[in-house]
Structure 1
Amino acid sequence: MILEVVDIKIPAGQQAPFEEAVARGLSTVISRAKGFKGYRIKHSIESPERYLVMIEWETLEDHTVGFRGSPAFAEWRAIVGPFFAAPPSVEHFTSVG
């Protein structure tokens, strides 16, 4: 199992429309992708324009090759991209122990 962590910063005052858009994009676009297992969205208390989106994938390639190389990636970006104040940071994690 791979955890994709996306650190997103949005413009001030856009929390409600961003939260609707990211939830819609995850539930209608990313959830259809091969290897998708689930997601969580976290909102920063100290930095109200910052969100972490955590997506679980079966394999790294399910995200980096399958999803990112598909038309669904452009569909996802069309939904959430307009809210990005800067390019998001994306990292992948695996469990240890």
Structure 2
Amino acid sequence: MAVLEIAHLDVIPAQTAAFEAAFAQAQAIIAGMPGYLGHELQQCVERPAHYALLVRWDSLEAHTVGFRASAQYQQWKALLHHFYHPFPTVEHYQPVNLQRAE
């Protein structure tokens, strides 16, 4: 079942421009991974150094095993992880079937 990864990214405030430039490069890494379905990066209006990364995967394992255990993840980490304080919270979500009772 497809899942949505939501990562809450608190970037060091003085480094948001550098983070965005690095993310522009890093997004090609994640986009090339097996099981990747799409992503978007959102910046918080009230707290400009806070971002939400939403990534759609075809399965939980595509992210937690396939991506995180890959050499590409090491590249991703090198490009981005030094911008975060504290380290991001990452959770995975799946659709809720909300059928109307007739």
TM-score (norm 1): 0.94
Per the alignment, residue 92 of structure 1 pairs with 92
TM superposition shift of 1:23: 2.4
Q: May I ask how many residue pairs the two structures share in their alignment?
A: 96
For residues 95 and 23 of structure 1, the distance between their equivalents in structure 2, rounded to whole angstroms, comes to 28
Per the alignment, residue 45 of structure 1 pairs with 45
Q: Does 1:36 align with 2:42?
A: no
Per the alignment, residue 78 of structure 1 pairs with 78
Gaps of 5+ in 1: none
Q: Give the residue type in structure 2 aligned to 1:15.
A: T
Percentage of pairs with the same residue: 33
RMSD, matched Cα: 0.9
Per the alignment, residue 20 of structure 2 pairs with 19
TM superposition shift of 1:64: 0.5
Any runs of at least 4 consecutive aligned residues in structure 1 with deviations exceeding 4 A, and if so which? none
For residues 87 and 16 of structure 2, the distance between their equivalents in structure 1, rounded to whole angstroms, comes to 17
TM superposition shift of 1:20: 1.5
Q: Give the residue type in structure 1 aligned to 2:9.
A: I
Question: Who wins on radius of gyration, i.e. which is larger?
Answer: 2
Gaps of 5+ in 2: 98-102
For residues 55-74 of structure 1, what are the structure 2 equivalents within 5 Å? 55-74=55-74
TM superposition shift of 1:15: 1.6
TM-score (norm 2): 0.89
Q: Give the residue type in structure 1 aligned to 2:15.
A: Q
TM superposition shift of 1:70: 0.8
